[in-house]
Copies of this chain bind each other. A is one copy, B any other.
Amino acid sequence: MRLTSRKTVTVRGRVIGGEAPLICLPIVAIDREGVLRQAAAVVECEPDLIEWRVDKFEALKTPQKAMQTLEAMRAAIGDIPLIFTCRSPGEGGFQSLDADMRLQLNLAAIASGRVDIVDTELSGGEAMIGTMRDSCRHSGVKLILSYHNFESTPDEAFILDRLATAQRLGADIAKVAVMSQNPMDVLTLLSATCKARRGEVATPIVSMAMGEVGAVTRVAGALFGSDVTFAIGRESSAPGQIPVADLRASWRALGLR
């Protein structure tokens, strides 16, 4: 019934962009102990995907510590696909990091063999994206190119352009997250997602309207072409996420899973 993706992406047996929308739960913690405690809790919720928001990790500037924690996290989460994300402060991240240090951290994660997907921002520029993309292809890691706006919802054409640009620059998955201030903003995000899916964007799409009124897109976005929703397992990573049990109940009501 929902609009599925023309090109699906499969990681560890999970199909992104297929009939069933997927649930991703974030891990957002300041140290190794917190990360591993959350990993254990999140696994209990049986998510389809887990995202480590490494930008919350205190020892971010010591990539070796992050990689050691990643090794332990992978042991804790078993075969659940892992997204590795170091978000910048301008797009909702918790800590700032020099662009080159962020790139080196991402490249280390890609080379580690312990992550399945990395997410980096379109605003990082084509040179950085090219380096990330080549490294991902070499290691068999999938690439999310993302756009976040924590202030407002741009118009539909702009959102469509961000999704199409992500695809053009080699993203395996295109992502947009915008802040909704009112119900019309929510419809703009859903309409842009639907038009991208039915139009030029063949890759899986992840889209959401953040904020209280946008929370409905966490539930309903799957119908309009968003293939993954981020929910609250243990800790929220962005405004408007809803608890995973409520999300599953809502999807059942809508016949989505």
Please list the residues of chain A having a beta carbon within 8 angstroms of any beta carbon in chain B: 1-3, 183-184, 186-187, 190-191, 194, 212-213, 215-216, 219-220, 223-225, 242-243, 246-247, 249-250, 252-255
Q: Specify how many copies of this chain sit in the oligomer.
A: 2
CB <8 Å contact, A216 and B247: no
Q: In the complex, A183→B223 CA distance in Å?
A: 7
Question: Inside 8 A of A252's CB, which chain B residues have their CB?
Answer: 246
Closest to A193 in B: B183
CB <8 Å contact, A194 and B183: yes
CB distance from A232 to the nearest CB of B (A): 11
Closest 5 CB pairs of A and B: A246-B253, A250-B250, A249-B249, A216-B220, A242-B253
Q: In the complex, A186→B242 CA distance in Å?
A: 23
Q: In the complex, A215→B256 CA distance in Å?
A: 11
Q: In the complex, A224→B225 CA distance in Å?
A: 20
Question: Inside 8 A of A254's CB, which chain B residues have their CB?
Answer: 215-216, 219, 242
CB <8 Å contact, B194 and A250: no
Known contacts A187-B187, A187-B191, A187-B194; decide if A255 and B212 are in contact (CB<8 Å).
yes
CB distance from A195 to the nearest CB of B (A): 8
Question: Inside 8 A of A253's CB, which chain B residues have their CB?
Answer: 215, 219, 242-243, 246-247, 249-250
Closest to A194 in B: B183
Closest to A220 in B: B216
Known contacts A249-B246, A249-B249, A250-B249; decide if A255 and B187 are in contact (CB<8 Å).
no
